[in-house]
Structure 1
Amino acid sequence: MNIEQARFNMIEQQIRPWDVLDPQVLDLLFVVKREDFAPAAYRNLAFADMEIPIGSGQVMLAPKIEAKMMQELGIKKTDKVLEIGTGSGYMAALLAARAEHVVTVESRPEIAAAAKANLERAGVANVTVEVGNGIDGWAQRGPYDAIVVSGSLPTVSSALLKQLRVGGRLAVITGEAPVMEAQLITCTGDGVYNTVNLFETVVPALDGADAKDSFSF
């Protein structure tokens, strides 16, 4: 398998057609080696238009979803970023290449450990991997300039929104199958938020989101 040809095909055949045209994002996809974050058994599928299993029932999201989220967030070098749902660590590596620092929260210790090892092997030094439930964010390290949720949520909690600085952006996929909406929510003032619907899709729920949503009080 020609890895570089597969990477080129992924960008030209999957990602550009999804209107991911920001040259900085496209360049990042060449630099951050997606195959290094995929489990060895799925390395040859790293560039396929699909979710890749990473163990414990978790997946890497499809490349075009991650690329689109990166483009919409418009990460700057001064940004402090929160990712909820570390997974393989690939999205954190993309974010870290553009941001000042990334805090990524993973609920499963074994997934967090694997992601940390992937990031260290890739030489990514400006990511802090935290183990815990990040559905309502990670307030102890906030506030943040950008937040991305790598998985879907039934709804966005006010606790999560409050962790955005004024001018901060949240990229999240909300709803329940078969209809989910990717959204960019921007904090335009203290307690004031502007929501833009980006595209419809269906992705797996963030670990723990289903259970949380089913509680009744």
Structure 2
Amino acid sequence: MTSKRTRDRLVSRLQEQGVTDQAVLDVVSNTPRHLFIDEALSHRAYEDTALPIGFGQTISQPYIVARMTELVLAAAGKLDSVLEIGTGCGYQTSVLAQLVPKVYSVERIKPLQDKAKQRLKGLGIKNVEFRYADGGFGWPGEAKQFDAILSAAAPRSLPQSLCDQLAPGGVLVIPVGGDTQELTVVVRDAETDKYHKQVYEAVKFVPLLSGLA
């Protein structure tokens, strides 16, 4: 289940789908995805598919995690700090944390966040700050700006509150839409302070919900 051959097959599938960033591929290969899902589903951990993690949420398929991470790394002017909307089980969080200096992760479902904290601690990942909050408003309580923001849930329209928290040159990678969703990248131009949007591909994410649970 967790053999090198199994993980190598997963990486080969990601490459076939167009993921080219070797650092991202290496991190996906070395991250024990089976630790982020229930033991009953662990035999499917290295399939390229989303899986349920409880509370109506899912662990994103490895391709989407790799693709979104690759887009963040490619588009951001610098990457000292990344805000993640939707910690979930912590899998995407752990991938990001191995590639950037500091990750800030927001989750609205407390039991999921508590489990994610335990998993990352067990893996020795220490550069993540967690906040239990409504992710639609970004990082609460202080006026922070981030070099990148990655959302693991889809709002129906692009949230201006998240765009406003991008630092100059920052990038927002987010699925947008209802029944039909598109993976969208927004870059805040460092010189003009204008936002440039580009749509990449059709995706399917859980909706970005408001409130705490």
2:196 counterpart letter in structure 1: N
Shift of 1:141: 6.2
Q: Secondary structure at the match of 2:189?
A: strand
Return the alpha-carbon distance in structure 2 between the equivalents of residues 89 and 172 of structure 1. 17
Q: Percent same amino acid at aligned positions?
A: 29
Indicate the larger mover: 140-149 or 116-125. Answer: 140-149
- State the partner residue of 1:58: 57
2:4 counterpart letter in structure 1: E
Change (3 A) 1:40 1:141: farther
Gaps of 5+ in 1: 210-217
Shift of 1:208: 3.4
- State the partner residue of 1:89: 90
Deviations 1:109-156 (A, max 9, x none): 101100101110111000011111011211526210000001211112
- State the partner residue of 2:158: 156
- State the partner residue of 1:34: 33
Q: Secondary structure at the match of 1:29?
A: helix
Pair 1:8-2:32 in alignment? no
Q: Secondary structure at the match of 1:123?
A: coil
Determine which of 169, 177, 195 is the counterpart of 1:193. 195
The aligned runs of 1:68-107 (5 Å cut-off) are: 68-74=67-73, 78-107=79-108
Pair 1:144-2:146 in alignment? yes
Return the alpha-carbon distance in structure 2 between the equivalents of residues 36 and 141 of structure 1. 34
- Structure-1-length-normalised TM-score: 0.89
Gaps of 5+ in 2: none
Shift of 1:29: 1.1
- State the partner residue of 1:45: 44
Over 3 Å off, 4+ runs: 75-78
Shift of 1:11: 1.3
- Structure-2-length-normalised TM-score: 0.91
